[in-house]
């Protein structure tokens, strides 16, 4: 105990124990356990990042990535067909594993519980987790293969997530094919680089960002597990986008044909002022360029067709080779740290809760793109594949997500010539299509004749 406190003292973090004498033996031991797990070297590195950086660093040269378009043309058409067939084969052979990241704190949504439990199904109120599960179930049915689902949590939601899956019977997926792993947490610091306390006996910890997925996969043994199952490619997606289509043959096939280590799906950004990161190269290295880093003239630049030059809006859907992740993590993966400055509720010197300006430290998955020898960037239609739940209200909220989902499904129904589904009092079409029934308009049309006669108007297609 004395040694640990001395180590903290030496690292100029001795204040972590300033309420020691007020604590019960149980609380003292809780704080000790937590402090024993803190990587003080990493905290020192984080502290150094708070110092003002050099101001005369040259701005990087940005270039847009080569995009495989949503509507292929010319030679892209047979290539897309070949890629689709390759993707189907990979899925049929069970060579694709699915990684869902759900370790975030969902602070903007302000939901009491893991974000994945948030109800989004317009008719069923199915949760985000249930939606993703349905897509994977649909993939297992379509491809007649085993689907292994790797779900990343963090200490703040791991227990509640596992309980929820158990309560829901793993949404009908075989329990031994659903695997949980927990990302690491790192201490949040104040603006002077001092570790913050969430309580007198508790260090303020935050998940280390979705970049933590790679290490956590390797350290949990699940990367090895995936490789042992013959899984070559991991399909990565985020919990907050129920339109994500993780078993997409075209994307997986393009990635495979290119011999890529890591690839991405993007949606076209149409408004230059939309505050979304875009994929592109910075001094030749592929990654995600933050909205605020892109100079205004690049942000507004348009090509001969009038499209934005930097339009590859990042939707955080990736394909990663297990071999690529293995190599990265074996050699000591070194992703850059990003700083998120926020007001946080912490225990101040007076021993009471107060709001303080603090900094959280995260690594981002897209920074691994720079390490991939080859990469595919596939543009997909936003209305088909991207409607995230980030905020409690307004854009990117549960309401906007439900609206996008129902508009999409209503479009499929309309194309069949059947009567429109009912609308609720807010004008929302009461319509939901289970992914096991159909994943797209073409499949919906094929499946419908048999079902149409049986279904009452405006309801769930399942």
Distances (CA, A) of 61 to 78, 298, 336: 34, 10, 19
* Contacts of ligand UTP in 111-150 (CB under 6 A): 115
Name which of 158 and 240 has its Cβ closer to ligand UTP.
240
Q: HSE-up of 86 (CA within 13 Å, CB side)?
A: 17
> Does residue number 400 form part of the binding site for ligand UTP (CB under 6 A)?
no
d(CA 337, CA 334): 9
Name which of 38 and 206 has its Cβ closer to ligand UTP.
206
d(CA 44, CA 39): 9
Distances (CA, A) of 358 to 235, 292, 312, 346: 34, 21, 32, 9
d(CA 447, CA 460): 14
> Does residue number 238 form part of the binding site for ligand UTP (CB under 6 A)?
yes
As given in the structure block, the two tokens for residue 96 are: 């694709």
d(CA 98, CA 223): 11
> Does residue number 313 form part of the binding site for ligand UTP (CB under 6 A)?
no
Q: Could you tell me what percentage of the chain is helix, strand and coil, using 3-state DSSP and rounding each to the nearest 5?
A: 40, 20, 40
Q: Which of 210, 245, 299, 371 binds ligand UTP (CB under 6 A)?
A: 210
> Does residue number 246 form part of the binding site for ligand UTP (CB under 6 A)?
no
Name which of 154 and 322 has its Cβ closer to ligand UTP.
154
Question: Which is nearest to 435 in space by CA: 90, 135, 46, 28?
Answer: 135
Q: Work out how close the CB of 277 gets to ligand UTP at its nearest, in angstroms, rounded to a whole number.
A: 11
SS3 392: coil
Q: Do residues 240 and 390 make contact, with C-beta atoms less than 8 angstroms apart?
A: yes
Q: Work out how close the CB of 340 gets to ligand UTP at its nearest, in angstroms, rounded to a whole number.
A: 8
Q: Work out how close the CB of 360 gets to ligand UTP at its nearest, in angstroms, rounded to a whole number.
A: 9
> Does residue number 220 form part of the binding site for ligand UTP (CB under 6 A)?
no
Angle 96-325-210 (CA atoms, 0-180°, nearest 5)? 90
Window 149-188: contact mask with ligand UTP (x via CB under 6 A): ---x-x----------------------------x-----
Name which of 366 and 461 has its Cβ closer to ligand UTP.
366
Q: What is the total count of residues that contact ligand UTP (CB under 6 A)?
A: 22
Q: Do residues 358 and 343 make contact, with C-beta atoms less than 8 angstroms apart?
A: yes
Name which of 109 and 252 has its Cβ closer to ligand UTP.
109
Q: Which of 94, 97, 104, 280 binds ligand UTP (CB under 6 A)?
A: 104
Q: Which of 103, 242, 287, 398 binds ligand UTP (CB under 6 A)?
A: 103
**CA 85 to the chain's CA centroid:** 27
d(CA 2, CA 307): 63
Q: Which of 207, 313, 358, 435 binds ligand UTP (CB under 6 A)?
A: 207
> Does residue number 401 form part of the binding site for ligand UTP (CB under 6 A)?
no
> Does residue number 441 form part of the binding site for ligand UTP (CB under 6 A)?
no
Name which of 8 and 361 has its Cβ closer to ligand UTP.
361
> Does residue number 234 form part of the binding site for ligand UTP (CB under 6 A)?
no
d(CA 261, CA 263): 7
Cα torsion through 164, 165, 171, 172, rounded to 10: -140
Name which of 359 and 448 has its Cβ closer to ligand UTP.
359
Name which of 106 and 313 has its Cβ closer to ligand UTP.
106
Q: Work out how close the CB of 447 gets to ligand UTP at its nearest, in angstroms, rounded to a whole number.
A: 30
Cβ-closest residue to ligand UTP? 104
Name which of 391 and 455 has its Cβ closer to ligand UTP.
391
Q: Work out how close the CB of 57 gets to ligand UTP at its nearest, in angstroms, rounded to a whole number.
A: 26
Q: Which of 209, 246, 249, 358 binds ligand UTP (CB under 6 A)?
A: 209
> Does residue number 372 form part of the binding site for ligand UTP (CB under 6 A)?
no
- DSSP-H helix ranges across 201-339: 212-220, 222-228, 249-257, 296-300, 322-330
Name which of 239 and 380 has its Cβ closer to ligand UTP.
239
Q: Which of 65, 106, 249, 435 binds ligand UTP (CB under 6 A)?
A: 106
Question: Which bin fits 155, alpha (ψ -120 to 50), beta or left (φ > 0)?
Answer: alpha
Contact set with ligand UTP (CB under 6 A): 101-108, 115, 152, 154, 183, 207-210, 212, 238-240, 362, 390
């Amino acid at each position: 105990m004395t040694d640990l406190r001395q180590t903290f003292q030496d690292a100029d973090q001795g204040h972590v124990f300033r309420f020691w004498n007020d604590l019960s033996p149980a609380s003292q031991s809780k704080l000790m356990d937590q402090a024993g797990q803190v990587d003080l070297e990493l905290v020192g590195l984080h502290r150094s990042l708070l110092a003002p950086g050099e101001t005369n660093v040259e701005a990087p040269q940005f270039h847009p990535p080569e995009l495989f378009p949503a509507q292929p043309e010319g030679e892209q058409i047979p290539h897309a067909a070949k890629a689709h067939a390759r993707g189907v084969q990979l899925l049929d052979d069970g060579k694709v594993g699915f990684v869902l990241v759900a370790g975030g704190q969902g602070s903007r949504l302000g939901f009491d519980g893991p974000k994945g439990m948030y109800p989004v199904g317009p008719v069923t109120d199915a949760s985000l987790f249930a939606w993703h599960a349905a897509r994977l179930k649909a993939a297992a049915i379509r491809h007649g293969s085993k689907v292994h689902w790797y779900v990343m949590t963090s200490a703040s939601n791991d227990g509640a997530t596992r309980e929820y899956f158990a309560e829901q019977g793993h949404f009908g997926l075989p329990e031994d094919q659903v695997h949980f792993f927990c990302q690491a947490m790192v201490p949040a610091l104040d603006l002077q680089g001092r570790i913050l306390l969430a309580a007198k006996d508790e260090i303020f910890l935050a998940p280390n960002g979705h970049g933590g997925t790679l290490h956590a996969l390797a350290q949990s043994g699940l990367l090895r597990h995936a490789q042992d199952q013959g899984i070559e490619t991991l399909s990565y997606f985020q919990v907050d986008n129920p339109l994500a289509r993780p078993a997409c043959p075209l994307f997986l096939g393009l990635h495979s044909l290119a011999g890529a280590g890591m690839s991405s799906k993007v949606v076209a950004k149409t408004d230059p002022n939309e505050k979304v990161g875009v994929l592109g190269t910075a001094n030749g290295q592929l990654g995600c360029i933050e909205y605020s880093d892109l100079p205004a003239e690049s942000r507004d630049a348009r090509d001969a067709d009038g499209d934005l030059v930097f339009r590859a809006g990042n939707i955080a859907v990736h394909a990663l080779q297990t071999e690529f992740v293995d190599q990265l993590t074996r050699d000591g993966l070194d992703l850059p740290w990003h700083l998120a400055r926020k007001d946080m509720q912490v225990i101040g010197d007076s021993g009471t809760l107060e709001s303080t300006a603090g900094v959280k430290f995260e690594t981002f998955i897209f920074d691994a793109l720079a390490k991939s020898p080859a990469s595919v960037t596939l543009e997909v239609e936003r209305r088909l594949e991207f409607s995230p739940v980030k905020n409690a209200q307004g854009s990117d909220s549960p309401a906007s997500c439900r609206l996008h989902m129902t508009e999409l499904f209503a479009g499929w129904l309309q194309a069949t010539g059947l009567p429109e589904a009912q609308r609720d009092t807010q004008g929302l079409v009461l319509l939901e299509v289970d992914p096991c029934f159909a994943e797209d308009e073409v499949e919906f049309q094929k499946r419908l004749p048999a079902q149409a006669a049986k279904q009452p108007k405006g309801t769930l297609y399942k």
